Structure 1
Amino acid sequence: MIVSSKLSEVEIDKGIFKQVLDLDGFFMVDENVLKNFPELSKKNLFVVISGEESKSLENYKSALEALDKSGKKTIIAVGGGVTGDLAGFVASTYKRGVELFQVPTTLLAMIDSSLGGKNGINLGSKKNYVGTIYQPKKIIVDPNFLKTLSKKEISNGLAEAIKYFSVFGEPSFFELFNFDINNSQNVISNCCKIKLAIVEEDERDIGIRHTLNFGHTVGHALERVYNLSHGEAISIGMIKELVLAKKLNLVTEEKINQIKKLLEKNSLPTEFPPNFNLKNCLDMMELDKKGSLVFSFDKKNFNVKLTRDFLEENLK
C-alpha cells in the first residue's frame, strides 16, 4: 500500500522490512531493534540508545563522525521517534543534505514522528530546540513491528491516532476502539494520509499544520515535568485542552466524553498525575518553543492564544 504526496512517500506492507535489509547505506538503528534483528550488525551501523538522552549535541557529533567514516551517502533510520529525530537531523546537515529513508518501528513513529520532515536534537532540557525540516525520500512501514511492542507502547501510538480522529474524523471510532495490531494497516494508512496532506499544504508549520498540535501544549509540559511517555502526556493534554475549548464554547461535553472513552479503552490516562502542580506546568508551557500559550483545538481553531490567568482558573 502506497500513500504519497508531493513531498514524500509512505509504503506500508507486512514483511517489507526484508527489503530494507538489502539497502546499501549508513544504518542508524535503535538498540532494541538491533536485539531483534542481529543481522543489522553486519551493516555500516550507528546504534542509538533508547531515550531522549541520545538526542544530544554530543551524540549528534558522534553520528556525523561515524557517517563520515563510513563513506555512505544514504542514511537508513530504523527505530522510533528518537532514532528518527537524530537521523533526520544528521541527514539534513551532513554535506548540506543526504538521502534519508525512515523505517519506523513503533506505532507512534509510523503514524506521526517519521512523517512531515521535522527532526531535531535537544539543547539541554529544551526538547527539539535544534532541528530542521527535511523530507525523507521514503518512509517504509512494516506493521509486523507492532508485534514486538508492549501494550503500553501500542497505547502510546494510539494517543496520536485518537488525536487525528478528534481533529479530522479519521481513523474511525470503531477502528480505534477495537484496534488490532494484526489488522492495523487501515489505521496506519489513514493517519499517514492526513499528515502528508497537511504537511504538503503547510510544510513550514506556519498555519494549518498547527492543527497537529492538539493536546500538545499541555501534553509537552506534562511530558517534561512528570516524565510521562509522549502518549500518556498527550492523552491527558487532549482531555484538558478539550475542557478549555468547552469553556470557550468550541466543543460539546459529548465530544469530550467520546474522546475520553477512546483513550480509556486504550489504557491511556485522562487526569493529571497525583503530584500535579499547576504552576510548574504553566511555567514549562511558557518555555515551549512556540513562545506563548497557544492552543490548537480543531481545523478552524488552531492558533488560539490564552492568558495565564484563564489557564490558572480553568486548567484543573
Structure 2
Amino acid sequence: MESVKSQSYEVHINELAKAALNQHIAKKEYSKIFLLVDENTKEHCLPIFNKIIDFSIDSILEIKSGEENKHIHTCLQLWEDLSNLDGDRKSLLLNLGGGVLTDMGGFVASTFKRGIDFINIPTTLLSMVDASIGGKTGVDLGALKNQVGVINQPQMVLIFPEFLETLEKRQVVSGYAEMLKHGLIQDKAYWDNLVHEANFTDASCIQHSIAIKNKVVLEDPTEQGLRKILNFGHTLGHAIESYCLDSHDKKTLLHGEAIAAGMILEGYLSHELRGLSKLSLDEIKSTFLTHFDKVEFTEDDIDAILQLLKYDKKNSHGNVNFVLLQAIGEAVTDIKIPEELFQKAFAYYKE
C-alpha cells in the first residue's frame, strides 16, 4: 500500500511503516531514543511494537491516558523526565498512543531544547486518520481543548492497523466519525462508500482518509483558509466535549462522539444558511445516530455549551466562525450564525 507524502514527512502503513522506521533509526545517529506511552498502550501495544523494531529504546516515559490528563502539568513532568534522563537536541521521541498522546508528545518534543525530532505511531483509529496528521500539537487549558500548542511536523507517521484489535468497540467507532467527516467536507463518493458498503477499519479506508486530510493540509499548512474545513462539526462538537468533560452530571464523551453530535447540529445550520438539502441533512443525522447514542441536552446545558463557543480557536475579532456544508462533499468556511438558529439546531437534533 502506497505511503502518503506530506510536506516534510511521509505516512507509512504496515510493512512500509516497519521498514521506514528501522531505516530511519539506522541512518540517524540519535543520542537517545525515548518512547512515550500511557498505561493502555504500554500493556496492549508495546509488545506488538517491540516485535516491529530492530533497535533498542533508551527510556520509556509513561503518562496517564485520557483527555483530562492533556494539560501543561503532564508536559512539565515529561520535560523534567527528558532532562533527568540526559535528553539533548539530538534525541528522538516516539509517540505510541492515541490523539491525546500524539498531540501532547508532539508538543513536548517541539518545545524541549527548542525542538527535538519526534515520530507519531498512532494506536487508535481516530489518531490514525486525524490527530497524528498535519503537525498540530498541543494541550488543553482546563476543559478548553487545544488552547496551547504549535504546528510542527513529525519525522514520519507510522500506521499499523493491527493496533485497532487492542481497542474496545466504542474507541474504534469514535474514529469512524472523523472518517465520515472527511467524506462530508471533500468526497461524496467516499461518504457513500463509508455509509453503505465499506469496512471502515480496512487499511484502504484508513489510507483514503489520511490522503484527504493530507491534501487539505498540504494546500494550507497553517490554517489560513482551506484547512479550516477540517473543523466541520468541531465548533459545537468541541464545546459539547468540553462541557461534558467539566460537568459532574454528564457522561464524558469521546472526541468522535462529541463531533458526531456537532456534525448533526452544524448540518442543520448548513441547511438553513448554505442550502444543504433536507434529504442530505436527514441522511447525515440518521447515519450518525445509527452509530452514536444521542446526547441528552437540557436548556441549561445548551446555554452553557453556547457560552463555550467564545473560546473556539477559529474565532477572529470576537466572531465565532463556522464551517458549513453546501452539499455533501462541499464545505465553506468563516460563516457567522444568527443566535436564534442555535436553539433550532438543538431542537432538530433532539427530534
TM (norm. structure 1) is 0.90
Hey, what does 1:127 align to over in structure 2? 145
Q: Distance in 1 between matches of 2:343 and 2:182?
A: 27
Offset at 1:220? Answer: 0.7
Q: Does 1:244 align with 2:253?
A: no
Matched, 1:273 2:304: no
Are 1:282 and 2:306 counterparts? Answer: yes
- Higher mean alpha-carbon deviation, 226-235 vs 290-299, is at 290-299
Check if 1:257 corresponds to 2:273.
no
1:52 aligns with 2:67: yes
Distance 2:121 2:278 in 1: 39
- Report the alpha carbon displacement of residue 193 of structure 1 after superposing the two structures with TM: 0.8
1:173 correspondence with 2:173? no
Residue in structure 2 matching 1:30, options 38, 57, 69:
38
Equivalence for 1:102: 120
The 5 Å alignment of 1:1-316 reads: 1-13=2-14, 16=17, 25-37=33-45, 39=47, 43-72=58-87, 73-169=91-187, 171-180=190-199, 184-226=202-244, 227-265=252-290, 267-269=291-293, 271-275=294-298, 277-291=301-315, 292-298=319-325, 299-316=330-347
Deviates more, 1:272-281 or 1:57-66: 272-281
Q: Closer, same or farther in 2 for the Cα pair 1:307/1:274, shift >3 Å?
A: closer
Greater gyration radius: 2
Distance 1:279 1:74, change over 3 A: same
Q: Measure how far apart 1:43 and its partner are.
A: 4.7
Amino acid paired to 2:136? K
In structure 1, distance between residues paired with 2:38 and 2:3: 25
Distance 2:101 2:135 in 1: 13
Relative distance call for 1:264 and 1:145 in structure 2 (3 A) is same
Provide the C-alpha distance between the structure 1 equivalents of 2:101 and 2:334, rounded to a whole number of angstroms.
30
- Could you list the per-position Cα deviations for residues 79-99 of structure 1 after superposition, in whole angstroms to 9, with x for gaps in the alignment? 001110111101111122111
Q: Distance in 2 between matches of 1:165 and 1:186?
A: 14
Please provide the CA RMSD for this pair: 2.4
Distance 1:202 1:245 in 2: 23
Q: What amino acid is aligned across from residue 273 of structure 1 in structure 2?
A: E
Q: Where do 5+ consecutive residues of structure 2 fail to align?
A: 26-31, 51-55, 245-251
Shift of 1:7: 3.2
Report the count of equivalent residues: 313
What is the identity percentage for the equivalent residue pairs of Structure 1 and Structure 2?
Answer: 32
**How far does residue 13 in structure 1 lie from its aligned partner after superposition?**
1.3
Provide, for residues 57-81 of structure 1, a one-character-per-residue CA deviation record: whole Å limited to 9, x for no partner: 2211110111223334111000001
TM-score w.r.t. structure 2 length? 0.82
Structure 1 residue 38, shift from structure 2 partner: 5.3
CA distance in structure 1 between the partners assigned to 2:19 and 2:165 by the alignment: 16
C-alpha separation in 2, matches of 1:31 and 1:20: 23
Unaligned runs of 5+ in 1: none
Which deviations, in whole Å up to 9, do the C-alpha atoms of 1:117-153 show, x marking residues without a partner? 1111122232211100011110000001111111111
